[in-house]
Amino acid sequence: MERSTAVLVTGCSSGIGRATALAFARAGFPTWASARRPETLAELAAAGCRTLRLDVTDEESRAAAVRAVVAEHGAVGVLVNNAGHGGGGPVEEVPLRLVRDMFETNVFGLVRMCQLVLPGMRGQRGGTIVNLGSGAGLATPPTGCPYAMTKYALESFSDALRLEVAPFGVRVVLVEPGAVATRFGATSERHNPQVEGGPYETFKRNVEAMTARAHRGNALTAEDVATVITRAAAAGARGPATRWARRPGSRRSPGS
């Protein structure tokens, strides 16, 4: 990947997006860090990132962000579709509003971002789209509705898109981290349906205890995932890998 390649990262106010923007900027790429609240990006600006307001559920905001990068660099060279949030519960307790909201952010926003950057990538006959999938997109955890559903959708979407855009030199990579220590868990908690008691109470408590046991002292850092993302992007046309899994406890970042 050439050092002049422009990188656009969504959801940089915290966690993996923030670490990824920092990693690209430190590696010398023109990096555009974006967030719904641009005031959260001051530290990234100080580290050399350009900053943008971008809410991936808002068409005006999405189009303006891509236009800004294209105006300066001709095209977005690497798009990291990181913005997303979790949440869920037993299907019977999950409001349809939560299912819709989560698909708006984790799936529809991401699909639209791809549509917006593709003309530029095709024009320059190259580019890389990195989508943030999840281990939850490969094996559904209990109470995985709707979060796991959105990440399963990205598996299919990424496979469909990859074949369509490969002839234009555009790569599509799916990164599938296991548990990562960010504020993701706390944010997800806020989205969970708040139902006290009820027929699923014991089931939910057991799932919570199981999840806490699985994650205890065993989570990746946001920087671990940022390293996988920058490597996946840098692999360019040489990289045969289309899926990059990274599990807590594993030393390698295998592609498959």
* Alpha helices (H) in the chain, listed in sequence order: 15-26, 42-46, 59-73, 96-103, 109-123, 147-165, 184-191, 201-215, 222-234
Kindly tell me which of 68 and 180 has the beta carbon lying closer to ligand NAP. 180
Q: Does 174 bind ligand NAP (CB under 6 A)?
A: no
# binding residues, ligand NAP (CB under 6 A): 31
DSSP code for 255: B
- The token pair at 147 is 């979060």
| Contacting ligand NAP within 143-172 (CB under 6 A) | none
Residues 114 and 81: beta-carbon distance below 8 Å:
yes
Q: Does 134 bind ligand NAP (CB under 6 A)?
A: yes
Kindly tell me which of 76 and 132 has the beta carbon lying closer to ligand NAP. 132
- Written as one letter, the residue type at 186 is A
Q: Does 233 bind ligand NAP (CB under 6 A)?
A: no
* Residue sitting closest to ligand NAP (CB): 15
Give the three-class secondary structure for 7: strand
Burial of 87 (0-12, 13-18, 19+ CB in 10 A): buried
Question: Of the ranges 13-21, 70-78, 198-206, 237-245, which one interacts with ligand NAP (CB under 6 A)?
Answer: 13-21
Cα separation, 64 vs 233, whole angstroms? 24
Sign of CA dihedral 107, 112, 113, 119: positive
- Of 7, 66, 170, 179, the one binding ligand NAP (CB under 6 A) is 179
Q: Is 147 a catalytic residue?
A: yes
Smallest gap from residue 117 Cβ to ligand NAP (A)? 15
- Of 5, 31, 51, 82, the one binding ligand NAP (CB under 6 A) is 82
Which one of the listed residues 24, 29, 32, 147 is annotated catalytic?
147
Note the residues at the interface with ligand NAP (CB under 6 A).
Answer: 10-17, 35-37, 54-57, 82-85, 105, 109, 132, 134, 177, 179-180, 182-184, 187, 222
Catalytic residues: 147
